[in-house]
Amino acid sequence: MTGPSIPPPELPRVRFRRLRRSPAIARLVRETVVSIDDLVYPLFIAEADTDAGPIDAMPGQLRWSLEGIGNEVREVAELGIPAVLLFGIPSARDEIGTGAWAEDGVIPRAVAAVRDAAPDLLIITDVCLCEYTTHGHCGVVDPGPPMQVDNDATLPLLQRTAVAHARAGADVVAPSGMMDGMVAAVRSALDAAGYPDVAILSYAVKYASAFYGPFREAAGGAPRFGDRRTHQMDVANRREALREAVQDVAEGADILMVKPALGRLDIVRELRDRLDLPLAAYNVSGEYAMVKGAAARGWVDERAAVMEILTGMKRAGADLLITYHAREMARWLRA
Ligand code: PBG
């Protein structure tokens, strides 16, 4: 051979593989461990029994009837999952979402049923109007033009909704409509109504997303016209997420959420580094559907994929993991 001779490689002194040699050492050096204690299980509850049943786009998830929900949450509690997040599907809808704050509406009744079946389970309720309005928007619609959700006219309705949920026994309310001022409005209403200890989990950083598709099938909350881009965030924005979060802290949020989480782990990390509140990552319906769809075809190993996704969210800095995989995850973690 001609040309320069290639020197023998310098042998590495640092060998990372020493700490990867066995499952035992991997356990000792593992930095992030997902626990059952982190999990929040979202549940859909239908007011009308005729609306109960499986959700096509979310294999394994059901719209529960008010009678059926008790058994389900008993099992959830037995698995050791600490919390559920309740979404209501009302039997009737109207222009302003009256059903959202009805004292005998689907969520107050669901809260009572869950409390009865599993007294120690933490009950979080979604506070939004989109499932309760005929047009599917998250608030009062000002026909315009331009048509838009009237932020300030919506706030009193969110206040009533949160108070109705607290009165029914919710431990935590989760305003999800991305209305400006919603956290302050809900906080003052809860305090005035005698519920100063009910906490607020704010969907502080909620992006407009294609990944809510299956949820909208599940809850029937798809907007009939227009979209949510005037109030949900643009996926391109990072600094704005921090402003949203800081504002919700100032308004009295107890826990902040980033949603959807999977494509926004940089935002979770940023909020973790800059703020001291507990953070929730919402592993949303479209993310669940992607894994379920691929797993059903044998394209990914579901258990490994879910473990990887949730570990990634926790490693990014999330404390609470809101996931439709919570039940399966709890079983896997116990096995
Ligand atoms: C609004 C709400 C939505 C989700 C949670 N709360 C839908 C939306 O904003 O369009 C989506 C959750 C998911 O996709 O899993 N009430």
Q: What is the pLDDT of residues 110-161, one digit of tens each?
A: 999 999 999 999 999 999 999 999 999 999 999 888 888 999 999 999 999 9
> So where are the chain's domains?
32-334
Phi, psi of 228 (to 5 degrees): -105, 20
User: Measured between alpha carbons, how far is 151 from 158 in angstroms, rounded to an integer?
Assistant: 11
* pLDDT of 1 higher than 70: no
Instruction: Give nearest CA residue, ligand 1 atom 8.
Output: 212
The sign one gets for the Cα dihedral 70, 76, 79, 81 is negative
Q: Whole-structure pTM over 0.85, yes or no?
A: yes
Q: Which atom of ligand 1 is the closest one to the Cα of 206?
A: 9
Ligand 1 binding pocket (C-beta < 6 A) is 126, 128, 130, 176, 212, 215-216, 221, 284-285
Instruction: Give nearest CA residue, ligand 1 atom 1.
Output: 176
User: Measured between alpha carbons, how far is 14 from 20 in angstroms, rounded to an integer?
Assistant: 13
Q: Which atom of ligand 1 is the closest one to the Cα of 285?
A: 15
Catalytic residue selected from 109, 115, 206, 314? 206
Domain 32-334 top-level CATH class:
alpha beta
* Average pLDDT in the chain: 96
* pLDDT of 79 higher than 80: yes
Examine the residue annotation and report whether 314 is marked as an active-site residue of this protein: no
User: Measured between alpha carbons, how far is 286 from 292 in angstroms, rounded to an integer?
Assistant: 10
**Quick one: pLDDT at residue 224?**
76
Give residue 150 CA to ligand 1 midpoint distance, Å.
19
Residues 164-193: tens digit of each pLDDT: 999 999 999 999 999 999 999 999 999 999
Q: Which atom of ligand 1 is the closest one to the Cα of 284?
A: 15
Average pLDDT in the 79-108 region?
97
Phi, psi of 207 (to 5 degrees): -95, 150
User: Measured between alpha carbons, how far is 194 from 163 in angstroms, rounded to an integer?
Assistant: 9
Average pLDDT in the 85-95 region?
96
Percent of the chain having pLDDT more than 70? 99
Out of 86, 106, 128, mutate this one to test ligand 1's pocket (max ligand atoms within 8 Å of CB): namely: 128
Instruction: Give nearest CA residue, ligand 1 atom 5.
Output: 176
**Quick one: pLDDT at residue 31?**
98
**Quick one: pLDDT at residue 335?**
85
Instruction: Give nearest CA residue, ligand 1 atom 14.
Output: 212
Instruction: Give nearest CA residue, ligand 1 atom 11.
Output: 212
Q: Which atom of ligand 1 is the closest one to the Cα of 282?
A: 15
User: Measured between alpha carbons, how far is 168 from 190 in angstroms, rounded to an integer?
Assistant: 13
**Quick one: pLDDT at residue 107?**
98
* pLDDT of 222 higher than 90: no
Instruction: Give nearest CA residue, ligand 1 atom 2.
Output: 176
* pLDDT of 221 higher than 80: no
Element (H, E) at 69: helix 69-78
**Quick one: pLDDT at residue 2?**
72
* pLDDT of 295 higher than 80: yes
**Quick one: pLDDT at residue 227?**
80
**Chain centroid to CA 43: how far?**
11
Out of 202, 215, 216, 292, mutate this one to test ligand 1's pocket (max ligand atoms within 8 Å of CB): namely: 215
Q: Which two tokens stand for residue 319?
A: 């404390």
Examine the residue annotation and report whether 206 is marked as an active-site residue of this protein: yes
Out of 212, 264, 284, mutate this one to test ligand 1's pocket (max ligand atoms within 8 Å of CB): namely: 212
C-alpha count within 13 angstroms, C-beta hemisphere, residue 326: 32
Average pLDDT in the 3-27 region?
95
Residues 230-250: tens digit of each pLDDT: 789 999 999 999 999 999 999
